[in-house]
Amino acid sequence: MKSKELILVFIAGLGLAALMACSTGDTCDIRTTGISVDYEAIEEDGSTRARAQFNYEGKSLELGNCGDTIEVNGVLLNKVGGVIPLTYEANVDATAEGEFVFSFNREGEGPFTSTTSLPDTFAITAPASGDSFSRADVIDITWDNSDGDFMNVVVDADDLLNFDENPSDTGAYTIAADSIETFSDDEDEDIQADLILTRELGGTVDPTFKDATCVGKVVDQISFTSTP
């Protein structure tokens, strides 16, 4: 096969992969044992939102019109936006026991329940929101109420390459010099970025699902300026 033909086949393959990654389906067409679920209860800024996503063999699933619903502590989660993967969310209070009970309801079967709780709360104590840091220097991060597990540390900005680490939850972590990188066109620019810390706690999942996760998360973040 000629090189030009190989390139065309490669491009076509990429297009097919992209279509498959962006494809959607309907839960009504899938048995419960074939559905994969991702459940999260996320506390940030004093409130908690519950989030659910449903999948089947790489397809993001929409809750169909056959009686399929997802509730958390009796609150119905609703679809938000149209971005894939399709997501269902609502603000939810914990039970008296501090739990978030995800209930997937189907006509004639279920409910299928998964449960999680929130980990201990914490707050970033340094750096302060509004601080500036050169990308050539280290960034020392501290937080209170460490629990000895791990802390997810993310630096997020449209003009920065992804920074995502999971250090031990000791209350302190240092981002090494030159670890935060820009795209080539932005190397000399000041960039507004978010430092996001997340603590997670795993829960229990209904064994009926093909695959499932159910986690509680506490998030704190500050904004800073990333300079050359």
Q: Are 131 and 141 in contact (CB under 8 A)?
A: no
pLDDT of residue 24: 85
In what helix (H) or strand (E) does residue 214 lie, and over which residues does it extend? Answer: strand 211-227
Among all chains, which residue has been given the structure tokens 């008296």? 96
pLDDT of residue 1: 47
Least Cα distance to 220 among 88, 46, 41 occurs for 46
pLDDT of residue 17: 39
**Which residue numbers in the chain have pLDDT < 50?**
1-21
* CB contact set of 145 (below 8 Å; sequence gap of 6+): 120, 121, 122, 123, 171
pLDDT of residue 120: 96
Q: Report how far residue 156's alpha carbon sits from residue 160's, in angstroms, rounded to the nearest whole number.
A: 7
Q: Which amino acid is at 50?
A: A
Q: Report how far residue 215's alpha carbon sits from residue 141's, in angstroms, rounded to the nearest whole number.
A: 24
Task: State the DSSP string of 78-98.
Answer: EEESSPSSPEEEEE----TTS
Write down the pTM of the prediction. 0.86
Q: Report how far residue 205's alpha carbon sits from residue 225's, in angstroms, rounded to the nearest whole number.
A: 40
What six digits make up the tokens of 120?
């201990």
pLDDT of residue 83: 86
Instruction: Give 31-66 pLDDT, tens digit per residue.
Output: 999 999 999 999 999 999 999 999 999 899 999 999
Q: Report how far residue 139's alpha carbon sits from residue 141's, in angstroms, rounded to the nearest whole number.
A: 6
In what helix (H) or strand (E) does residue 39 lie, and over which residues does it extend? Answer: strand 36-44
Q: Report how far residue 42's alpha carbon sits from residue 72's, in angstroms, rounded to the nearest whole number.
A: 13
Q: Are 172 and 127 in contact (CB under 8 A)?
A: no
What six digits make up the tokens of 51?
């989030």
pLDDT of residue 22: 56
pLDDT of residue 78: 97
